[in-house]
Structure 1
């Protein structure tokens, strides 16, 4: 929180932070980027026991935002691949900047949404750059290109995926629901930031049931009344 207050006093729109191991991270000062940085790097939401990232992992990051998780993962995944999906142009450009800034060759930024459809999806924009959603929230929206997990796996010849990370403001339900059973067998671990739509539990409960039916063991962690984390592992 103190860091966030400090950033609000900075006149520059963007700053570059440097970690102890020399990773450079470009963030926007007048945004929630610093909060997202804390979620990934300090609260260990994506570094739970059993979900450690390994050197040769194949990772799919759905809702990559500006690349904070991808940069975190790149510290450990040196010889694997980190595929990053980010549909919003401004976030995607920051993701690409952060990748290029560190000369990381195994992060692959993709300017696409992941959904249940192969062509286009409408995303409603929020003042919080990390909270754009497929669910209507105001009148500002963009139509973006989209793919499915199945199509992506086919096009990139993904036979084994060590980790799928999903943080896409409510789209997690249709994404998981649209994955064919035989493609679930290619995925070892899934981390989802879930969002309760209109505070209804049915979608969340069905999501857990779907994962368990696909032979995943699940653990959950509540963050607030309407969101939390799901950790699924075979």
Structure 2
């Protein structure tokens, strides 16, 4: 995050005190943890100044990038790549009866996830990486900030990239472990590992109703291909910003569309088998 963007974000979120704290954090060359109250969110949220947490707070809790109008409230939500838990917190407030499973592999983010989720009984935190098999993978830091940690097979990580090992699990194993028989909303932001996760999706993909995913072909070739092959039987899709939404049930898209139209003049949607159209 640039200095100017950080100052603007800190002022809009925290006021003059936030700007002062940001300046202090930059002077001391370290992140400073603060708590902030957000409209519509029941409990204070913890963020680290001078990190990507501030941008994520704006995206997840103010711009509500992952918000959807479900005709029937979801009962099971999986948040893969949960980072510090801001999306899970948003869902926990909007759908307090839902079981939410927040999956995050990187330790410093996971510790913040635990802190943010502590007040919500319906959020289960899981320290692991989603992958194509139950194994161990490397968590690599390519220098993109706290939201850019990547997972890779042990043999794929070069010595020039700082990395640590972490447990990796499949979606199917996670569902078995926690007694989940379906996923109403599967939110995925796993920095390129969607290629591996979705190339082995046949055991669980039929149990998923809606997917909200960021595709990272710019990080790893084949991500989109893997996801679209796995979701070939899904009925509709639309895009909001960097997020692609894929779902089942042609009736459901009619419930989503009014929200999409009001969100962005550049949102696109299509029922599978039709050409994409831009909503003006």
In the alignment, does 2:127 pair up with 1:111? yes
Q: 1:37 to 1:190 in 2, by over 3 A?
A: same
Higher helix share: 2
In the alignment, does 2:140 pair up with 1:124? yes
**1:184 corresponds to which residue?**
205
In the alignment, does 2:218 pair up with 1:197? yes
1:23 to 43, 46, 49: 43
Query: Which whole-Å deviations, capped at 9, do the CAs of 1:105-147 have from their partners, x for residues lacking one?
Result: 0100011111112020112114401100125584200110111
Deviation at 1:93, TM superposition (A): 0.7
Deviation at 1:17, TM superposition (A): 0.5
Gaps of 5+ in 1: none
Q: Which whole-Å CA distance do the structure 2 matches of 1:52 and 1:69 have between them?
A: 20
Deviation at 1:52, TM superposition (A): 7.7
Do the aligned residues in 1 keep the contact of 2:9 with 2:55 (CA within 8 Å)? no
Instruction: Give the secondary-structure state (helix, strand or coil) at the position aligned to 1:47.
Output: coil
In the alignment, does 2:33 pair up with 1:14? yes
1:152 to 174, 192, 196: 174
Q: Which whole-Å CA distance do the structure 2 matches of 1:34 and 1:165 have between them?
A: 20
Matched residue count: 222
Q: Which whole-Å CA distance do the structure 1 matches of 2:111 and 2:219 have between them?
A: 31
2:245 to 227, 231, 234: 231
Q: Which whole-Å CA distance do the structure 2 matches of 1:52 and 1:168 have between them?
A: 27
TM-score of the superposed pair, with normalisation by structure 1: 0.85
In the alignment, does 2:85 pair up with 1:64? no
Structure showing greater Rg:
2
TM-score of the superposed pair, with normalisation by structure 2: 0.72
Q: 1:158 to 1:198 in 2, by over 3 A?
A: closer
Instruction: Give the secondary-structure state (helix, strand or coil) at the position aligned to 1:83.
Output: strand
Q: Which whole-Å CA distance do the structure 2 matches of 1:44 and 1:66 have between them?
A: 15
In the alignment, does 2:55 pair up with 1:35? yes
Deviation at 1:53, TM superposition (A): 8.5
Structure with the bigger RCO (C-alpha within 8 Å, sep 6+) is 1
Q: Which whole-Å CA distance do the structure 2 matches of 1:199 and 1:113 have between them?
A: 17
Do the aligned residues in 2 keep the contact of 1:184 with 1:214 (CA within 8 Å)? no
Do the aligned residues in 2 keep the contact of 1:188 with 1:233 (CA within 8 Å)? yes
Aligned-residue RMSD, C-alpha: 2.3
Instruction: Give the secondary-structure state (helix, strand or coil) at the position aligned to 2:244.
Output: strand
Query: Which whole-Å deviations, capped at 9, do the CAs of 1:164-183 have from their partners, x for residues lacking one?
Result: 10011111121112122x52
Q: Which whole-Å CA distance do the structure 2 matches of 1:88 and 1:203 have between them?
A: 21
Deviation at 1:199, TM superposition (A): 7.8
Q: Which whole-Å CA distance do the structure 1 matches of 2:45 and 2:219 have between them?
A: 34
